[in-house]
Amino acid sequence: MAETLIDGRRGPRRRRFAPARGTIPLAIGLAMVLVWVATAIGAPWLAPYPPAEIDFLAISQPPSALHWFGTDQLGRDMASRVMHGGTYVLTIAPAATLLGLVLGAAIGLVTAWFGSWVDEVVMRVLDAVMAFPIVILAMLALTFLGAGTGNVILVIGLVFAPLIARTVRAAALVEARKEYIQAAQLRGEGSLYIMAVELLPNVRGPLIVEGTVRLGYAVFTSATLGFLGLGVQPPTPDWGLMVSENQALLTTAPWTVLFPALGIAWVVVAIGLAADGLKEYLEP
């Protein structure tokens, strides 16, 4: 017997192409996101009509060769609006996530490194913040600050920071007990150096994965805020806003809601796929 079966497995079979774990979902997810990024950037040239052009002769038309995604109640071309509509979500979400990452990483590192009462106080405050549903919290803040792109970024970033801080803190606590940190202390390195140079690079993996997961939620949250009228204002084309504007037409002209909603779903799923792949790749 040349090859013996072990627990039902066949003998050696050499695969010609064995990509690293996670690269396939990562690549698909990234490609799916990039399609929309490219569309949003190229929309002024790609879109068949200007997004705000009103055509009273073509109100609420179903999809056709002239209007691929149909038109809304003002006769605006849905295809053009959906192509433009990703712009806001795709700028707000990364910017807000970045802000959340910076804040969260800083809070996580500080609490993990200083421990004792700093950790207690900060983490209890964050627990209190996280007890509120994210959208409610963001709504509250935006009602005080007023709607607008900058405020939406600020608010989503702030709301995400506690979640990211928890992840970073957990990872940093493990690293902080390791001997290379003790070696740094023996050299008399300051807390800032230890946090930034010794700890941060070693929590990069979980930080990136958490960031990608948050990015997906940020798309979703910013679309929700748009839907609630707290993001960009009409007539700017925005997926969330479009769903909100046209929800009354759901029964008579469903395409006006379907296509912007599909845009949101597409991006959220794509980012989720990329996040899964990245996690597999970084933390096998």
Partner 1 sequence: MTAPLLELDNVTISYQRRRDLVDAVRNVSLVVQPGEAYGLVGESGCGKSTLAMAVLRYLPRNGLLTSGHVLFEGRDLFTMTAPELRRIRGDRIAMVYQNPGSALNPTIRVGAQVAEVYRHHRGLAHRAATEAALDMLRKVRISEPDRVAALYPYQLSGGMQQRVVIAMALASDPALLVLDEPTTALDATVQADILDLFQDLRGELKASILFISHNLAVVQQVCDRIGVMYAGELIEQGTIREVFQRPRHPYTAALFDCIPDFGVRKKDRRLAGIAGGVPDLADLGTGCLYEPRCLISRTVCRVDHPELMRAGTRHLSRCFFHMETPLPGSAAPLAGVAQSPENGRSDRLPLLSLNKVGRRFGKAHILDEIDLEIAPGETFGLVGESGSGKSTLAKVIAGLVPPSTGTVALNNERVAGTASRRTRRQRRDVQMVFQTPDATLNPKKRLASILGRAVRVLAGLTGRRKRDRSSALLADVQLPPKMMTATPDRLSGGQRQRVAIARAFAGDPKLVILDEPTSALDVSVQASILNLLLDLQRESEVAYLFISHDLAVVRYLSDRIGVMYLGEIVEIGPAERVFRPPFHPYTQSLIAAVPRLGTEKPARPVSLDVAPSGPADRPSGCPFHTRCPRAYDPCRTEAPPWRDAGEGYMIRCWIALDALEASQTAALRTRRKPDPVRVGPRP
Binding region for partner 1 (CB under 8 A): 2-7, 9, 11-12, 14-16, 18, 178-180, 182-183, 185-190, 198, 201-202, 204
Nearest approach, Cβ of residue 195 and partner 1 (Å): 13
- Is the link from the previous residue into 235 a cis peptide, with omega within 30 of 0? yes
Nearest approach, Cβ of residue 229 and partner 1 (Å): 45
Report CA Rg, the chain.
24
C-beta closer to partner 1: residue 119 or 189 = 189
C-beta closer to partner 1: residue 32 or 204 = 204
Amino acid at residue number 240:
G
C-beta closer to partner 1: residue 189 or 280 = 189
Nearest approach, Cβ of residue 232 and partner 1 (Å): 40
Q: Which of 108, 119, 78 minimizes the C-alpha distance to 243?
A: 78
C-beta closer to partner 1: residue 8 or 146 = 8
- In angstroms, the Cα distances linking 129 to 80, 158, 159, 162, 189 are 39, 10, 8, 8, 33
Residue found under tokens 């879109």: 47
**E strands, the chain, in order:** none
Q: Which of 252, 244, 168, 228 minimizes the C-alpha distance to 202?
A: 168
Nearest approach, Cβ of residue 174 and partner 1 (Å): 10
Nearest approach, Cβ of residue 43 and partner 1 (Å): 41
C-beta closer to partner 1: residue 146 or 190 = 190
Residue found under tokens 């993990």: 112
